[in-house]
Structure 1
Amino acid sequence: MPLAYDDTNIFARILRGEIPCTKVAENDHALAFRDIAPKAPVHVLVIPKGAYVSFDDFAAHASDAEIAGFTRLCAEVCRSEGVGLEGGNPGFRAITNAGPHGVQEVPHYHLHIMGGRMMGPMVSPRD
C-alpha cells in the first residue's frame, strides 16, 4: 500500500498556485518546471497533476490518460530543452526517487530530466 498523500507538500502547493514556479510546459495531466537548485544545465521536474506519492503509486493507480499525458509531456520537455535524442543531441538522464532508500525529498511523484553535460555514473559505490 502506498504512503498516504500529503496535500501540503511543495509540489501540491505549486499545482494549486500557492507557490510560483518557472514553468517549462504543461498539459491537462502534468506540469514541467525548472528545478530551483539545478544539478545540470538542464534540470526540469515533471509532475503529474494527480495526487501520487511515487512512481509505483502512479503506475498502479493513474488512469491511462494521466500516464500518457505525463509521458508525452516528458518527451516534449526533452525536445524543447534540446536534450532529446532527436536531432543528434547527446542525451539526458531521467531520474525518479521513491521512499527513504531512494532519497525521495518531496512525497509527490516527480521525474527529473537532466542534461546539457555528461552526467557521470548513475550511482557511486559505498562501503
Structure 2
Amino acid sequence: MDDCIFCKIISGEIPSKKLYEDDEILAFHDVSPQAPVHFLLIPKKHIRNIMELGKDDVALTGRMINKAQELAVGQGCGEKGARFVINCKSDGGQTVNHLHIHVLGGRPLDWPPG
C-alpha cells in the first residue's frame, strides 16, 4: 500500500531499528516506547487488521505470535512476562491500518490500559 507507514518501513523507505526480519515478518522497536521493552511485529504482507485475516493467513499469524514470544524472551521478558496487543480498527485503538502486534514489557503494566 502506497500510503502505509509499515509498508514503507518494510521496503526500507522509512528507517527502523530492526529486531528481527525474515521473508514474511519484520519486528522493530517502537519509536515512542511505552515500556522499557516495546517492539512491534508485522507481516510483510499488507493485511489491514485482524478482522481481514483469511484462512490463508493462519500459518503466518501463528508464526507471528510464536516469533513475538521468542523475541519477548530474548528482550528479557521470559521470567516476568509481557503484554501482547493487537488493536483492531478505530474502536480497538488501531492507528496504523496494517496488522501489527505490540509487545510491551520490562515493567508492571496496569489493567485496564487507560
Structure 1 gaps, min length 5: 1-5
- Identify the residue that residue 32 of structure 1 maps to in structure 2: 27
Instruction: Report the structure number with the largest CA radius of gyration.
Output: 1
SS, match of residue 70 in structure 1: helix
| 1:21–1:61 CA distance, 2 compared to 1 (3 A) | farther
Where do 4+ consecutive residues of structure 1 move more than 4 Å?
none
* 1:75-112 superposed Cα distances (whole Å, 9 cap, x missing partner): 2211211113xxxx111001111111012110000000
Q: Residues 42 and 113 of structure 1 are in contact (CA less than 8 Å); yes or no, is this contact kept in structure 2?
A: yes
AA aligned to 1:71 is I
> Map of 1:39-54 to 2, 5 A cutoff?
39-54=34-49
- Is 1:63 paired with 2:57? yes
- Identify the residue that residue 96 of structure 2 maps to in structure 1: 106
AA aligned to 1:98 is C
* Count of residues paired in the alignment: 114
- Identify the residue that residue 3 of structure 1 maps to in structure 2: none
SS, match of residue 82 in structure 1: helix
* TM-score of the superposed pair, with normalisation by structure 1: 0.81
1:81 to 70, 75, 82: 75
Superposition deviation, residue 27 in structure 1: 2.2
Superposition deviation, residue 67 in structure 1: 2.5
Superposition deviation, residue 56 in structure 1: 2.4
| 1:63–1:69 CA distance, 2 compared to 1 (3 A) | same
Superposition deviation, residue 65 in structure 1: 3.7
* TM-score of the superposed pair, with normalisation by structure 2: 0.90
